[in-house]
Structure 1
Amino acid sequence: MPGMGHSLRAAALLAFVVLSILVSLLISSVQQFGAGIYHFSNATVAGDEEEFASLHGALIYQLNQRRKEIIPLLLFDGEETWESFYQRDQTQDSPMDYSLWNEITHGSRKAHMDEMDCQSLVDMQAVEVLGSGYTKLVVKVNLAGGQPVALKLVNEQGIDMGKCVEDFKDPRGCRELVSYKLKKEIVLLQRLQHPNVIKLKGHCAVDAGGRGGEGEKVTVILEQGNPLQMIQLLQSPWEDRFRVCLDLVRLLHFLSQSPLGSVALLDFQPRQFVTVSGELKLTDLDDASAEETSCQTHADCTLQFPHRNFTLPCSAQGVCEGLNEKRNIYNAYRYFFTYLLPHQAPPGFTHLVDHIMNSTGELKADINHTLEAFEHILLLYKSGLHLDNLPPSIIRDYTVMRGMGTSGDTEYRCWPSYSQQGCLLSVHSAREAAFICNSHSQCNSFTLTGQKTWTGRLLASFRSSFSHLVPDGTSEVYVKKTKAPETSTV
């Protein structure tokens, strides 16, 4: 079916052209910057072929070095240390290496991913640029069927591309060199599949023209997530903030014993994460490293942070013990736990949260113990065991009307609330809701809505008053009983 192959190739290239045009509308001065680069490149080739040949050789060397960095990620099986693997791998340059590399480059390695490829990008519509950095551009697009996905591609106006062209005078070769990070990310996303790692839906690699063309274009197709907004998260209920921290710890536990060994996130920042349906997911893996740090003494195993340093033991095998794992834990502490975990934690969990903060902030616990501590809090929170001290009689002060809702509410605000217009909180039971209502001077009634949070807890709406009841099969209304006025005796 040669005709179909040509049509798919043409469709893919057309999709890239459409995407390039739409993206260029969102980025300033694209045409001017690109024109300057290509003009400079042509002048260089024409003016000094000998210098160009030297630069081309240096660029080829860099490309081969990048390839050698990625191939071990495909071949490493976790049965040996990275140090011994690299020693063995340096003596080999087998045809299988090039075969694996070609599979990445030409998009044929799809055994571990969904079937999205270049054809999936036909008739896509670019929606917005989600982010841009030194190397990559992230664009939200809607596919032909309306499905939203995120595309990662080389940032033509990024610092890495500009620096490469300045050094090597070869835009086509530089695009291939810079795209190495995308190829590395494809491999890592294939090897590190986990609920808290963004899902790789596929990728597309096409050669846009011959020797005089723009060269290879690589695009990574990912599930669509929402950038993690720390300011917004700080204003969220504790339950949602705890979820982010729990998801992060589950991810770090996986990375500590992944198929590649213990993986460190070298660029550990909130901007590397997104949320998908409330679930935290790592979306940027190009700076992840599974290499172990070799050492001769304990002093070689120092973790340095802006305000703290930690020295880890050097093992008899000459490797820093747990360095990648401990690096991840402390970064989780300083970027996430410090801001999200302690504030407004339920009173019954204060001592447990304090223990987590101390053990992670001082690197006293490994990731296994840290995960156990988080899962223990989750168990208590979902089961309501931390509420055992609440008196059962507290609910007797309320009259309950099942299968009813309210209308004409007079609401008040509380913080943090799931609603900005009123006071909407999660509770384990009507007993906890009654306790909360009693602690709010404005509260005279509350409704259990039937809606649940990610933990299975109920959402309760608290108010000062309401005008009348309305039928609602999913709700229960609790109203404070009015006390008879006390009679004075003379």
Structure 2
Amino acid sequence: TKVRVKILHNELSLVKIKTVLLYLSAVFGFSTTCVFTALLFLPLQLKGHCSGVHGGGGEGVERGRVAVILEQGTPLQMIQLLQTPWEDRFRVCLDLVRLLHFLSRSPLGSVGLLDFQPRQFITVSGQLKLTDLDDVSAGEIACWTDADCTLKFPHRNFTVPCSTRGVCDGLNEKRNIYNAYRFFFTYLLPHQAPPGLTHLVDHIMNTTGELKADINQTLEAFEQILLLYKSGLHLDNLHPSALRGKSYMSPSGNGEYRCWPSYSQQGCVLSVHSAREAAYICNSHSQCNSFTLTGQKTWTGHHLASFRSSFGHLVPDSASEVYVKKSKVPQSPSS
């Protein structure tokens, strides 16, 4: 397994982690346990660690440092992500909402992410993970009046009440939700969403863009979309298609065409719930004459379907099923 090493120096990163841990002891008096408490926030797998011995020499890990070995992921590239199928883009948004739900009720209280740029995240086996805690705020901000509880964004401002306890209740949560809307949902969710789910996607966009829903309601809305998508219930209104199937066969020969976005750059490979949905897609593509359900599946359990304009012949394949459009038989002229 690939790993990356991050050295947390007590004059740099550890100072920032110390602030996350709610005013721990002086910088040189931090405990290794504190660092690993902070690492609980990181969904990255901890591969190992070592810490400097108090009063130790200069060899190895120096005094006042902790070396943390974490699994290595793939940096989140928004441009590349925009070119992926909707199902994968939805997964990133869902993982993000689940993370924000955890941060809203973490062991350290409500935690706000101050830097919400995509560079703060990586993906490991397709799952979104937070890379570090360099820019977070633990605990709600103290306040005297409601004016102290204003969230300022480039084009919008939001204000939450100053509670009787003298803190801005819910400020971190609302900051996280709106930044998720700004940096992720706006770009990843609406484009090419399945027609049967667009009304639910629009609801999420409206409620998060106006901060009308809390993180519990937002997570519930995402989980509802996931449930409908995995079960295929959003496909109830699809029209039946005329096709015939060949089990345990796969096509051979040229005949692939490209579509976008696709799981393959060389052809048209899409995620489908069933042969019924694949047939609907095939009918909507003027080039499509047949499709193959492969044995491969996505993270939701959907099949990967390969769409083709033609093929030479069929060959045995125990993991595939081929479906071909039924051609209309020409009517003989009446005498």
Q: Same fold (TM over 0.5)?
A: yes
2:111 alignment counterpart: 263
After TM superposition, list the pairs within 5 Å mapping 1:408-419 onto structure 2.
408-419=253-264
Structure 1 residues 408 and 301, CA gap change in structure 2 (3 angstroms): same
| Cα displacement (A) at 1:153 | 2.2
After TM superposition, list the pairs within 5 Å mapping 1:295-310 onto structure 2.
295-310=143-158
Matched, 1:337 2:185: yes
Native 8 Å contact 1:272 1:283 kept in 2: yes
Aligned residues: 320
Q: Deviations over 1:104-155 (max 9, x none)?
A: xxxxxxxxxxxxxxxxxxxxxxxxxxxxxxxxxxxxxxxxxxx32111126x
1:427 alignment counterpart: 272
Matched, 1:223 2:71: yes
CA RMSD of aligned residues (A): 2.4
How far apart, in 1, do the equivalents of 2:122 and 2:237 lie?
A: 38
Of 197, 203, 209, 2:43 maps to 197
| Cα displacement (A) at 1:486 | 3.0
Of 297, 311, 327, 1:466 maps to 311
Structure 1 residues 433 and 254, CA gap change in structure 2 (3 angstroms): same
Structure 1 residues 151 and 205, CA gap change in structure 2 (3 angstroms): same
What TM-score do you get using the length of structure 2 for normalisation? Answer: 0.89
Identity over aligned residues, as a percent?
A: 72
Higher-helix-fraction structure: 1
After TM superposition, list the pairs within 5 Å mapping 1:18-417 onto structure 2.
147-153=1-7, 176-181=10-15, 184=18, 190-191=36-37, 197-206=43-52, 209=57, 216-391=64-239, 397-417=242-262
Native 8 Å contact 1:247 1:279 kept in 2: yes
How far apart, in 2, do the equivalents of 1:250 and 1:472 lie?
A: 39
Quick one: which amino acid aligns to residue 248 of structure 1?
Answer: L
Answer 1 or 2: higher relative contact order, Cα 8 Å, separation at least 6.
Answer: 2
What TM-score do you get using the length of structure 1 for normalisation? Answer: 0.62
Which of structure 1's runs of 4+ aligned residues deviate more than 4 A?
Answer: 181-189, 192-196, 213-217
Native 8 Å contact 2:20 2:136 kept in 1: no
How far apart, in 2, do the equivalents of 1:195 and 1:398 lie?
A: 50
Structure 1 residues 177 and 329, CA gap change in structure 2 (3 angstroms): same
How far apart, in 2, do the equivalents of 1:225 and 1:261 lie?
A: 27
| Cα displacement (A) at 1:307 | 1.4
- SS of 2:222 mapped into structure 1: helix
Native 8 Å contact 2:45 2:70 kept in 1: yes
Native 8 Å contact 1:184 1:286 kept in 2: no
Quick one: which amino acid aligns to residue 416 of structure 1?
Answer: P
| Cα displacement (A) at 1:206 | 3.1
Quick one: which amino acid aligns to residue 306 of structure 2?
Answer: S
- Structure with max Cα Rg: 1
Q: Deviations over 1:417-472 (max 9, x none)?
A: 00010000011100000000000000000000021100001110000011111111
| Cα displacement (A) at 1:292 | 1.5
| Cα displacement (A) at 1:184 | 4.5
Quick one: which amino acid aligns to residue 298 of structure 2?
Answer: T
Native 8 Å contact 1:265 1:287 kept in 2: yes
The range that moved more, 258-267 or 231-240, is 258-267
How far apart, in 2, do the equivalents of 1:216 and 1:280 lie?
A: 31
Native 8 Å contact 1:445 1:462 kept in 2: yes
1:450 alignment counterpart: 295
How far apart, in 2, do the equivalents of 1:199 and 1:205 lie?
A: 18
Native 8 Å contact 1:196 1:280 kept in 2: no
Quick one: which amino acid aligns to residue 461 of structure 1?
Answer: S
How far apart, in 2, do the equivalents of 1:451 and 1:397 lie?
A: 24
2:28 alignment counterpart: none
